[in-house]
Amino acid sequence: MMLRRNRVLEALAEGRPALGVATQMNSPEAVEAIGAVGYDFTYIDCEHGSFFLEGAVQMIRASEAVGLTPIIRVPGHDPTFITRVLDAGAMGVIVPNVSTRGEAEQVVAAAKYLDGDNGGRRGACPGTRASWHQTTDWPAFARWSNANTMVWVLIESPEGVANAREIAAVPGLGAVMLGPFDLAHAIGRPGEPRHPQVAQAYDDVMAAARDSGVEVVASLFSAEPASMTREKAEWLEKGARILVAGSDRRMLVRALADRLAALRA
């Protein structure tokens, strides 16, 4: 049976942080470049990216070609869309704006096949791209998929922060991801993701995740290598072991701007 590698889980098992990049442009070649330089994963952003399912499938293929683990940031809580991106070969989903335990339970159930009393409600179809077009041993694939498919939920509202302990305790949840821009906006601090109120809220979320044995996904905002190294060390010290280095858009714009400044100097 052909099985994909989950390089996020491999990195964590090896005791090192899993490193990734957000893909927001409709570009399989950008995905290939992310994998070619050695990142562990990319999250393909169907919430804010300029594409939908058809584009995401091509980027999943590009990820597989370079050994990169593809995760889809879905646009909402729709269980049908979650199932479709997983059937297309995504190794996990990031679900935005999860604010209650009930919401977390629903998205985990949508991503998992029924196995005993796990509550899984993912549609069981052997003829999908994820199961290599009905060429795999279905029971073995379903077990493998349940073990390797990651569900990460974004906590980006005051309600989500208040319910962080209940959310983190949901069985089958792989990680909580911090959404500082949305949280800053929600508490009246738009554009201030590093405001002390935001930082304190996420310290509380991280404490809840640690107590439940759930991973934390943190995004790095520093642009310069030295400051990024410091920011990485700070997140690792707090307990975040999955780090997003930035987005393809931001990295491209930054590189273009730096080169233009050098040429004009």
Q: Which residues contact 160 (CB under 8 A, 6 or more apart)?
A: 97, 98, 99, 100, 167, 205
- Contact indicator for 9, 233 with CB cutoff of 8 Å: no
d(CA 164, CA 177) in angstroms, rounded, equals: 11
d(CA 5, CA 11) in angstroms, rounded, equals: 11
Q: Which residues contact 53 (CB under 8 A, 6 or more apart)?
A: 46, 81, 84, 85, 88
Active-site residue, selected from the candidate residues 48, 77, 133, 195: 48
DSSP state of 20: E
Q: At residue 120, what is the residue type?
A: G
- Contact indicator for 66, 35 with CB cutoff of 8 Å: yes
d(CA 109, CA 106) in angstroms, rounded, equals: 5
d(CA 160, CA 187) in angstroms, rounded, equals: 12
133 is catalytic: no
- Contact indicator for 258, 35 with CB cutoff of 8 Å: no
CB-facing half-sphere around the CA of 13: CA atoms within 13 A = 7
Q: Which residues are catalytic?
A: 48
